[in-house]
Structure 1
Amino acid sequence: MDEGNGSAPNADDIAAMSFEQALGALENIVQQLERGDVPLDESITLYERGEQLRAACQKRLDSAQARIEKIVTGADGKPSGTAPLDGTD
């Protein structure tokens, strides 16, 4: 891996981003690609970077979802407690 190549997508800098930063960067890439005025080679690089950002955001969302608890309802339909969202104990 060439650490000196600043133009290549870098997973390390994505990992250092907050969710909001990664999502903002992804939105920026989508806007650039939707405009259609980016040269083909740059579009491919942007697409690859966008895919890395999308994967990082999805991983963070999956992690957050695993930590969220769901409300458990009793037979009467009223809340009776909570359980992990994934159903494991």
Structure 2
Amino acid sequence: MSDTPVEEMNFETAMAELEKVLGQLERGDVALDESIALYERGAKLKARCEAKLKEAEEKVAAITLDGEGNPNGLKPVEGL
């Protein structure tokens, strides 16, 4: 596991570490205490990935296009 706090990871780093954590858990070759720690880290990584995806979706949704399909600035996203 990385020593980087999950809260500081970008999407790609969090996803890569989540895949490593899942691989270790699926193999089942770790002690129970380590499995619990891996599961907890995996849950945090999953939440971080979801938050970063939502953030990206909000940015994309805020971009408006003009009649020719060119970005025309940002607008507030409804419901947020």
Q: TM-score, normalised by structure 1?
A: 0.64
- Equivalent of 1:17 in 9, 12, 23: 9
Q: Percent identity?
A: 41
Farther off after superposition, 41-50 or 63-72:
63-72
Contact 2:6 2:14 in 1 (8 A): yes
More helix by share: 2
Q: How many residues align?
A: 70
Structure 1 stretches of 4+ with a deviation exceeding 2 A read: 69-72
Superposition RMSD in Å: 2.8
Q: For the residues of structure 2 that align with 1:14 and 1:67, how far apart are their CA atoms?
A: 22
- Deviation at 1:15? 1.6
AA paired with 1:45? Answer: A
Q: For the residues of structure 2 that align with 1:62 and 1:16, how far apart are their CA atoms?
A: 16
Structure 1: 5+ residue stretches without partners: 1-9, 73-78
SS of residue matched to 1:37: coil
After superposition, residues 20-35 of structure 1 pair within 5 angstroms as 20-35=12-27
Q: For the residues of structure 2 that align with 1:34 and 1:87, how far apart are their CA atoms?
A: 40
Q: For the residues of structure 1 that align with 2:17 and 2:41, how far apart are their CA atoms?
A: 9
Q: TM-score, normalised by structure 2?
A: 0.70
